[in-house]
Amino acid sequence: MRESDSGPANPLSWQVTGMDCASCAAKIRSAVERLPGVSDVRLSVMSETLSISLAAGGTTAAEVERRVAGLGYALAPAKPAAAPKAADSCGCGHDHGPAAADPKIGHRHAPGADHSHEDHGHAHSHGGTGKKADAGHGLPGHVHEATPDGMSWYQTGKGRLVLLTGALLAGAWLASLAWPAGSYWLFVAACLIGVVPVARRAFAAAAAGVPFTIEMLMTIAAAGALVIGAAEEAALVVFLFAVGEVLEGVAADRARASIRALGDLVPKTALVEEDGATRQFDAAALAIGQIVLIRPGDRVPADGEIVSGISGIDESPVTGESVPKTKGVGDPVFAGSVNREAALRARVTRAAQDNTIARIIRLVEEAQEARAPTERFIDRFSRFYMPAIVALAIAVALVPPLFFGGEWAVWIYRALALLLIGCPCALVISVPAAIAASLSAGARQGLLLKGGVVIETAARIGTVAFDKTGTLTEGTPRVTEVVALGRSEREVVELAAAVETGSSHPLAEAILARAETDSIPVRPASEAAAIAGQGVTGKLDGVAIFVGAPRHAMSRAAFDATAKAAVERLETDGKTVAAVIADGVLAGLIALRDEPRADAAAAVAELRALGVRSVMLTGDNARTGAAIAGSLGMDHKAELMPDDKVAAIRELSAQAPVMMVGDGINDAPALAAAGIGVAMGSGTDVALETADGAVLKSRVRDIAAMIRLARATMANIRVNIALALGLKAVFLVTSVLGYTGLWVAIMADTGATVLVTANALRLLRFDAGKTS
**Nearest residue to 628 via CA among 506, 469, 462:** 469
Those residues whose C-beta lies under 8 Å from the C-beta of residue 232, and which sit 6 or more positions away, are: 172, 184, 187
Measured between alpha carbons, how far is 708 from 693 in angstroms, rounded to an integer?
Answer: 14
Those residues whose C-beta lies under 8 Å from the C-beta of residue 702, and which sit 6 or more positions away, are: 445, 446, 447, 695, 768, 769
Q: CA dihedral defined by 174, 178, 181, 186, rounded to 10 degrees? A: -30
20, 114, 303, 467: which is the annotated catalytic residue? 467
Measured between alpha carbons, how far is 506 from 515 in angstroms, rounded to an integer?
Answer: 14
Measured between alpha carbons, how far is 638 from 468 in angstroms, rounded to an integer?
Answer: 10
**Nearest residue to 239 via CA among 746, 739, 745:** 746
Those residues whose C-beta lies under 8 Å from the C-beta of residue 684, and which sit 6 or more positions away, are: 125, 303, 332, 334, 356
- Is the Cβ–Cβ distance between 676 and 458 less than 8 Å? yes
Measured between alpha carbons, how far is 467 from 662 in angstroms, rounded to an integer?
Answer: 5
Residue 344: helix, strand or coil by DSSP?
strand
- Is the Cβ–Cβ distance between 325 and 313 less than 8 Å? yes
* Burial track 444-454 (b if 16+ CB lie within 10 A, e otherwise): bbbbbbbbbbb
- The count of other CB atoms within 10 Å of the CB of residue 38 is 20
Measured between alpha carbons, how far is 762 from 447 in angstroms, rounded to an integer?
Answer: 17
- Is the Cβ–Cβ distance between 18 and 74 less than 8 Å? yes
Q: Fill in the amino acid letter for 488.
A: S
Sheet holding 676-680, edge to edge: 447-449, 693-695, 676-680, 658-662, 463-467, 613-617, 635-637
Q: Fill in the amino acid letter for 163.
A: L
SS3 of 266-301: CCCEEEEEECCEEEEEEHHHCCCCCEEEECCCCECC
Strands 543-548 and 576-582: what pairing? Answer: antiparallel
Strands 304-308 and 332-333: what pairing? Answer: antiparallel
- Is the Cβ–Cβ distance between 660 and 676 less than 8 Å? yes
Measured between alpha carbons, how far is 324 from 337 in angstroms, rounded to an integer?
Answer: 10
Crossing angle of the two packed helices 214-227 and 408-421, in degrees rounded to 10:
160
Measured between alpha carbons, how far is 153 from 19 in angstroms, rounded to an integer?
Answer: 14
SS3 of 643-698: HHHHHHHHHHHCCCCEEEEECEHHHHHHHHHCCEEEEECCCCCCCCCCCCEEECCC
Is 467 annotated as catalytic?
A: yes
Measured between alpha carbons, how far is 241 from 421 in angstroms, rounded to an integer?
Answer: 12
Active site residues: 467
